[in-house]
Amino acid sequence: MSVDVLYSYFMNLPQFALTWGIFFGAGLVSFAIQLRRNRHVFSLREVFEHCVPFDPWRSKSFHMDVIIYIYRKFTDFIFAAPGFAIAGLLSIGVNTSLTALFGHLTPIPTTFAVAFLCTIVMFLAAEFADYVVHYLEHKVPALWELHKVHHSADFLNPLTSKRGHSLPILYGGAMAGVITGAVAGVLIYLFDISLPEALLLKAVASKIFTIWTLDPLKHSHIPVGLGWFDRVLISPHMHQVHHSKLQPHWDKNFGTNLSIYDWIFGTGYRPAKGEEVEFGIAGYSDATLQKFNTLRGAFINPIIRSWKAIQKRFRQKPTSISSPAIEGIDWTRQMVDPRED
């Protein structure tokens, strides 16, 4: 099976139908289990309220999810383009450098085993890039101000996955371009594979793991774990913990599909069965979170607060925080209060 055929097979799966099919399918299954345990009378209204535990007509948070989703459908490619350019240039540079250092190498033919190996390597590189960016977004105040938009949702639904400022696509794509471009350059040198093929293989792997990890449920209220596979993969329940404003859940589970980097770097958290979460941003009231549910609150104010955070950082004198009483507190979450907007 060629790379193009493999890519076509998986990428032609109807993403919209797949996403909402998994979301409502899981909702129906969990409702059926609940119905059997509690022996309630079946009601279509209860089914809908179970699957969608918020008012889609009145929820400003959901309305903002829809607006941002539509906006990003038409604009993401603009912010993602520099990342692809960086990946292309770096892969050429790495391949050229390896050729200059070690001479031309007879490429290994692209067999199924080689394609599988390249897919895994590219996927691991892309996941590591995502982990690094996501980690920095929680630790660097200026980036956290932009990332807050994603965490400001009152309730999670599949559209929340796209709820976010556009600038993270720019710097996230640049980081991914550097890491995946360098790895692709090595693969191009070693194997009979091109950059587009390397990127396509990574896209196929991402698609497969999106299905395997039940990605549409990660931004939902349905706490599904993956059992033993939580040691390798980010389950929906693990990502829901990441969105929790409860202090034990802060800065946990940064991975997109894989949890291995979280366990390696000490940010992994496997919730207990039935462990509850509270969505939102710690320290922000519901009224304050509503400020994110406008175009200005989602796109303009985060830039202003990010710039203020940068200014504050350069005006501050370095200080040492060593008091045991304040160890473990995430100071980045309190950099700029949106109530100042």
Question: In terms of pLDDT, which residue wins out, 40 or 329?
Answer: 40
**Is 284 exposed, middle or buried (CB count within 10 Å of its CB: 0-12, 13-18, 19+)?**
buried
Non-local CB neighbours of 16 within 8 Å, separated by 6+ positions: none
pLDDT of residue 99: 94
pLDDT of residue 153: 94
Q: Model confidence over 145-168: pLDDT tens digits?
A: 999 999 999 999 999 999 999 999
pLDDT of residue 325: 36
**Is 101 exposed, middle or buried (CB count within 10 Å of its CB: 0-12, 13-18, 19+)?**
exposed
State the Cα–Cα distance between residues 1 and 122, nearest whole angstrom.
19
Mean pLDDT score of the chain, rounded to an integer?
86
Q: Model confidence over 288-302: pLDDT tens digits?
A: 999 999 999 999 999
pLDDT of residue 168: 97
pTM of the model: 0.85
Q: How confident is the model at residue 322 (pLDDT cuts 50, 70, 90)?
A: very low
- Asked if residues 224 and 237 have their Cβ atoms less than 8 Å apart, the reply is yes
pLDDT of residue 107: 77
pLDDT of residue 23: 74
Q: How confident is the model at residue 130 (pLDDT cuts 50, 70, 90)?
A: very high
Domain boundaries, the chain: 3-316+328-340
Q: Percentage of the chain with pLDDT > 90? A: 60
Q: Is the pLDDT of residue 42 over 70?
A: no
Q: Model confidence over 264-278: pLDDT tens digits?
A: 999 999 999 889 999
